[in-house]
Amino acid sequence: MKNKSNSNKSRRSFIKKTSIATGAIVASPLFVEAMSNVHAEKKLKVALVGCGGRGSGAAIQALKADENVELVAMADVFKDRLESSLKNINEYFEGARRIK
């Protein structure tokens, strides 16, 4: 009986390991293709939803993180908060063309 139990564990271990290896082999071309698309685009486009202090601060930090980051959209329930946030972000970056 012990041999049968060990045999089942060995089979399970073998199947688990080969499944993981097969998954890695199948996924690797997809990963390479995805990475090549990132380099082709060279811009990270971000959007801000919720233009309060935390949202505006996060947008500024994202824009400061890399020169290839662009803010492409903003949304807030309150129009005045949206306008104020856009004004503050534009002033922070002195009209840099990173806000579309």
Confidence at residue 38, expressed as pLDDT on a 0 to 100 scale: 55
> What's the pLDDT at 84?
93
Residues of the chain scoring pLDDT < 50: 1
Regarding whether 54 and 100 lie in a shared domain, the answer is yes
pLDDT digits (tens, 9 = 90+) for 38-55: 555 678 888 999 888 888
Question: Are 34 and 48 members of one domain?
Answer: no
Position 80 scores a pLDDT of 93
Same domain, 94 and 68: yes
Please report the pLDDT score of residue 79 as a whole number. Answer: 93
**Confidence at residue 29, expressed as pLDDT on a 0 to 100 scale:** 62
**Cβ–Cβ < 8 Å for 93, 63:** yes
CB 74, CB 48: distance < 8 Å: yes
Residue among 86, 100, 93 nearest 51 (CA): 86
Residues 36 and 1 in one domain: yes
Q: Same structural domain for residues 53 and 88?
A: yes
Looking at residue 11, what is its pLDDT?
79
Could you give the C-alpha distances from 52 to 3, 58, 82, 86, in angstroms and in order? 65, 10, 8, 11
pTM, whole model, 2 decimals? 0.54
pLDDT at res. 6: 60
